[in-house]
Structure 1
Amino acid sequence: MDDEAPVIYGLEFQARSLTAQVAETDAIRFLVGTQSLKYDNQVHVLDFDEDNNALNKTVFFHKDGEIWHIGSSPGDKDVLSTCFNKIVDNKLQGQAAIWRLPSDDEDPDIQDVGLHDDASSNAKNLEVLCRLDNSDAGNIMSVLWEPQGDGNRILSLTDNKFLVWDLEASGSRARMTSSATLEGKGHPKFTSLRWNPHHNNSQVASANDTTIRGWDLRSMEQTYMIENAHGQLVRDLDFNPNKQYYMASCGDDCSVKFWDVRNTEWPVMVQNDHSHWVWSVRYNQFHDQLVLSSSSDSRVILTNAASISSEPFGHMDEDDDDEEEDDDIMDNEEKNRSKEAMKDGVIATYEEHEDSVYAAEWSAADPWLFASLSYDGRLVINRVPRAEKYKILL
């Protein structure tokens, strides 16, 4: 059976911020933030309808400025964060706020969308819950929600600091609880921060220039450092959700690298499949051998990293132990073939974009579906090829 065609959605404005909604796993939903210098910016809430292979949109106005980063609360499907540029006293500031999607008391602007549908003129404004006071910390570049949390703990990243915040249950106030500063010669600046989903959410990793650092949030001290992790700037990081010591990184040297943070002298795997800067890398949250990367070469690449995954031999049946008699009869060579390790390498290359692809995110509800976003405002929904899906499941 042939794979289904990708679904393409065009925004009115340029965009580079994308996230999957994680609080509700019954719906396949993505959030996109726009970057317009001339008009009011927007947050597009996009629901994917699997039965009709179509997208439904709800558009909200974000009048505070162009959105550089967007995040979704793990505890409330209607709460999100944005980082945006705003002019204050004739100076451009990077600010952040926590928002709530307006209620559905009135009919929202929801409709099937195509490539060039315009946003409705009667879209509602986002409701601000609180703003993160960055007067002392500097310009905020991103806000990260605690993984698997209740939505009350977040991190914010500035040029040379990251801060830990506690939100009230209502999200109406944020209190800074701790911070860490990047120190060194030449005023080093962070480029990325990623929360480690293991170790009781007490660790994070950061990137600056070509260096990756691990941090313990309990002491706010460094735990490890990978110098010269990439030949050029490190753009993004992600942790393996199923193997606690493994992480991936990507950068301007066109490569994606995989690390075991217990031994950082050499990466455990390197993929050099892009031809320009790699902006994002993401592990599949359910099947960690599947890794997405997106790049300024206008491509999204799906990679198999099975040899360093939690499932190096593919899916194992839960009732294998109950079939010992059949196993004894089965020839050893046949058994080996049936459990043959999956090969590492590129599974598929997706080329529906015509501009730099700044973000690619897996759906939180469907492990076989993902979205990617390019700077020209094109969002594409794609799937893992059926053949690869069956290799993993069977």
Structure 2
Amino acid sequence: FLIFLSLVFDGEEKNSFIFMQARALTPQTAETDAIRFLVGTQSLRYDNQIHIIDFDDENNIINKNVLLHQVGEIWHISASPADKGVLGTCYNKTSDSKVVTCAAVWRMPKELESGSHESPDDSSSNTQTLELLCHLDNTAHGNMACVMWEPMGDGKKIISLADNNILLWDLQESSAKAVLSSSAALEGKGQLRFTSGRWSPHHNCTQIATANDTTVRGWDTRSMRQIYSIENAHGQLVRDLDFNPNKQYYLASCGDDCKVKFWDTRNVTEPVKTLEEHSHWVWNVRYNHSHDQLILTGSSDSRVILSNMVSISSEPFGHMVDDDELSDQEEQHQEEKIKEPLQDSVIATYEEHEDSVYAVEWSSADPWLFASLSYDGRLVINRVPRALKYHILL
């Protein structure tokens, strides 16, 4: 069930694979030298797998290694920010004829931890198994929606969302034991359930944002109390959130109303900006880690959209260079640039997918490269258009 495709589009080479059905994607966060993504499959018929995808940028080649994930179909995957070999998954399993979503922390085989691996000659004989480090015990808390690692942390703190509970875990004994250190519950009428969450890299990593139904909430992880609430953030279910890595109060959200919204969490009465480019549910929104004007979104309209939201970025007048480094001519160009605030725009719409795009992620090693994953199992790797890259840098 693997077909290798190489697609040419606008003169930029793209690479994609087709797996089994899949919806879980993450960059290998701790790998900052090699371009590497992890994909989790979602099959009811076969043993599920995690595909380790290495992209050789110089030769435009994708290599793949496969790890068995036999406990069940994968709904969410996340990688430790500190240890290349450690990852977390949320997966379905059947217990007492009921389907429950559990979460666990795993270690991949030592020889696969670092990037730049070539595909094995015979993939069928080379499938390896993940080592279970620990389960995140959710017996008392309900179905797990996602596992978030403390950004830039030592890989010892994780938060999981389970039904209406926020659970903060300490990983101990080389991650072989998860101790619940604190928790909070969402209270109100009806069956409240978190759909997604994101851990802020700002404020010493003491804040997270969560989505439930049409509401976005901020929480302080020290007191486990709510610090802001955006009621009716979207007209329908909120699907995903992401924090601007360079502007501490800025948060993006997306949802089933086909919109992407940008918020300043100090004043949540109105969004700062709204994007309405997709024609169906928006499943994923991601800020570029280095250049926060670059926003990726993926939708069940089967499109991936790259937007340049420069007006609400940390550099609304473009990249500023120290005067001492400029010649007279360059200085004049820089002054002209300052006078014209750059316009927000859609940079590119990518249409290589034929099914709902459930995940988009930037590479942790190359700020100009990203991957998208659709439910039919197609992973596509793309680059930011060269002209935009040089416009941002120069």
Alignment partners' CA distance in 2, 1:201 and 1:82? 22
Greater Cα offset, 126-135 or 85-94? 85-94
Residue type matched to 1:390 in 2?
A: Y
Alignment partners' CA distance in 1, 2:160 and 2:338? 47
The question of 1:50 aligning with 2:52 is answered no
Shift of 1:122: 3.6
Shift of 1:35: 0.6
1:104 aligns to what SS in structure 2? helix
Q: What is aligned with 1:120?
A: 124
Q: What is aligned with 1:10?
A: 18
What CA RMSD, in Å, does the superposition of the two structures yield over aligned residues? Answer: 2.2
The question of 1:170 aligning with 2:178 is answered no
Contact 1:3 1:386 in 2 (8 A): no
1:294-317 deviations in Å (ceiling 9; x for gaps)? 000000000011001001111111
Paired residues for 1:1-394 under 5 Å: 3-11=11-19, 13-104=20-111, 111-112=118-119, 119-317=123-321, 319-321=322-324, 326=328, 335-337=335-337, 340-394=340-394
Shift of 1:341: 2.5
Identity of aligned residues (%): 65
Residue type matched to 1:348 in 2?
A: A
Contact 1:189 1:208 in 2 (8 A): yes
Shift of 1:4: 2.1
1:389 aligns to what SS in structure 2? helix
Alignment partners' CA distance in 1, 2:334 and 2:106? 56
Give aligned pairs, total: 383
Shift of 1:367: 0.3
Contact 1:314 1:339 in 2 (8 A): no
Distance 1:334 1:38, change over 3 A: closer
Contact 2:92 2:101 in 1 (8 A): yes
Shift of 1:164: 0.1
Alignment partners' CA distance in 2, 1:67 and 1:334? 49
Residue type matched to 2:289 in 1?
A: Q
Alignment partners' CA distance in 1, 2:16 and 2:98? 37
Report the TM-score, using the length of structure 2 for normalisation: 0.93
Shift of 1:87: 1.1
Shift of 1:339: 5.8
Contact 1:40 1:63 in 2 (8 A): yes
Q: Structure 2 stretches of 5 or more lacking a match?
A: 1-9
Shift of 1:90: 1.9
Greater Cα offset, 175-184 or 87-96? 87-96
Q: Structure 1 stretches of 5 or more lacking a match?
A: none
Alignment partners' CA distance in 2, 1:199 and 1:187? 31
Contact 2:317 2:338 in 1 (8 A): no
